[in-house]
Structure formats: structure tokens, C-alpha cells
Amino acid sequence: MNGIMLYLIGLGLNEKGFSREALDAVSLSDIVYLESYTIEFPYSLEILKKEFGGKRIIPADRNFVENAEEIISEAKKKNVALLVYGSPLTATTHISLIEQARKAKTKVKIIYAASVFDAIAETGLQIYKFGKIASMPKFPAESYLEIVKNNQKIKAHSLILIDIGYEFADALKRLNQNCKNKKISLDKIVVCSRLGTNESKIFYDFVKNLEIKKVRTPFCIIIPGEMHFLEQDVLESFDIPH
């Protein structure tokens, strides 16, 4: 890791999920930002600071990251790190940041880590059988279910990411109502909570039974498509939470 650099660092799914390469990059960095607007972390900022040896970590909001002039300007003079939960390139904002940095002749180093897109394989559903990813936004809209409908046409599984600020009960209620409005039939669905952590839980059940479950953020929902019997067997084992 030579020269002044902008590091875009994936943290993985828990407070120890980052790599040795990430630890080295943070130790070299003069300024460390934490992207804090796309996910509710399953651990505190203080815990993360401790894992990085007490390094000062500055929370960065959407406006700061999307309007990347300041962070790119700093990275021309100092080593700057931007920490991202999960994998660093799942959000289009981060792709845009890299492009802007390169246009400004700022060196960029990307350090990868595991994300929810890896961890959902724990459900037993085969990754290559997932269709396009949908996101349930905080504002009232049902358009995300068009993605689900298109996935169902090709018998693919649908991963639905949930916008920050949603409690599980509210997200589940909204999904159920939106599906009724869109005439999408919901059989058993999959709910994944805090994947990759010691508090990881996976549920596979009908909506009415899931309403009473205690599901902590971050969580996601999967509407299964056509399943192989092996997928079905693994999912059925999650009728009792793990």
C-alpha cells in the first residue's frame, strides 16, 4: 500500500468481519469515515473503534458521500478510508465515488468483505437461482414488487432489502398489503436477521406466523421461487429458528 490513497473498505457482517488488509489500511489512514446511512449496524461505533485499535472514526451521511468533493480533496493530500458495512461495492453511491475519484486522478484501493449476498446462501437457497434484487423503500411505493413479479415469471427467488429505519413488524405488514394490492400470492417466505453475526436468525414460515417473531435489524426478506427438493429440505429446517 504505497502512496496517498482513498481506501474503500468492506467491513463484512460483524465487528470482526473485516480482513487483515482492511486493518492495515485503516492503520495507515489519516482520516477514517464510516458510511452510516444504508444500514443499521448490528454493533455500535464504539465496538468498531475498539476493533481498529481506538482509531477515530467519523460517521458520514448520504450527502457527504454522494457529494464526494470533500472526501476526494482530502484523499489527494492524505490517506483516507471509507468504511462500508458488508461489501464496499453493493451501493451505486460507492461506484459513483470511485468514478469521481479516478476522474480527479485520486488513487483508489478497494478492499472486499462478505455481504448479505453471500450470507443468504445459509438459507439453503441456491445463489444462482436468485433473480434481480428488490428494495423496499421507506417512502410509500409498491414498484419494488414489479421486480418480484418479473422474478416469479422465471421461477427465480426474490431477495428484498429493507430500507433503514424500518421495524420488522411494519415491513412485514407493508409487504403483505403490497402483495395483496399487486395480486402476488405469498406462501411461506424467508426472513433473515443479522446474518453473519452471533445473533443470526433465519425463519421460514407464513406471514401470519412471522408476525409474532422478534426480528432485529438488519434484516431482509426472501420470497422463494421454484425450489429444488434440497433447497426445500434445508428451508424446512428453519421452521424452528436457528
* Structural domain boundaries enclosing 198: 117-239
Q: Of 77, 75, 86, 137, which Cα lies nearest the Cα of 112?
A: 86
Would residue 175 count as lying in a domain?
yes
Query: Which residue, of 114, 140, 174, is where some domain finishes?
Result: 114
Question: Do 61 and 168 reside in the same domain of the chain?
Answer: no
- Rounded Cα distance between 109 and 1, Å, is 9
- What's residue 1's pLDDT? 59
Question: Do 167 and 139 reside in the same domain of the chain?
Answer: yes
User: pLDDT-derived band of residue 240, with 50, 70 and 90 as boundaries?
Assistant: low
Question: Do 51 and 125 reside in the same domain of the chain?
Answer: no
Would residue 1 count as lying in a domain?
no
Would residue 157 count as lying in a domain?
yes
Beta strands in the chain (DSSP E): 6-10, 31-35, 58-60, 80-84, 108-111, 134-136, 158-162, 189-193, 201-205, 219-223
Q: How many domains does the chain have?
A: 2
**What CATH number does residue 34 fall under?**
3.40.1010.10
- What's residue 129's pLDDT? 98
Question: Do 32 and 59 reside in the same domain of the chain?
Answer: yes
User: pLDDT-derived band of residue 2, with 50, 70 and 90 as boundaries?
Assistant: low
Question: Do 175 and 88 reside in the same domain of the chain?
Answer: no
Question: Do 17 and 45 reside in the same domain of the chain?
Answer: yes
106-154 pLDDT, tens digit per residue, is: 999 999 999 999 999 999 999 999 999 999 998 888 999 999 999 999 9
189-239 pLDDT, tens digit per residue, is: 999 999 999 999 999 999 999 999 999 999 999 999 999 999 999 999 986
User: pLDDT-derived band of residue 242, with 50, 70 and 90 as boundaries?
Assistant: very low
Question: Do 73 and 123 reside in the same domain of the chain?
Answer: no
Question: Do 170 and 85 reside in the same domain of the chain?
Answer: no
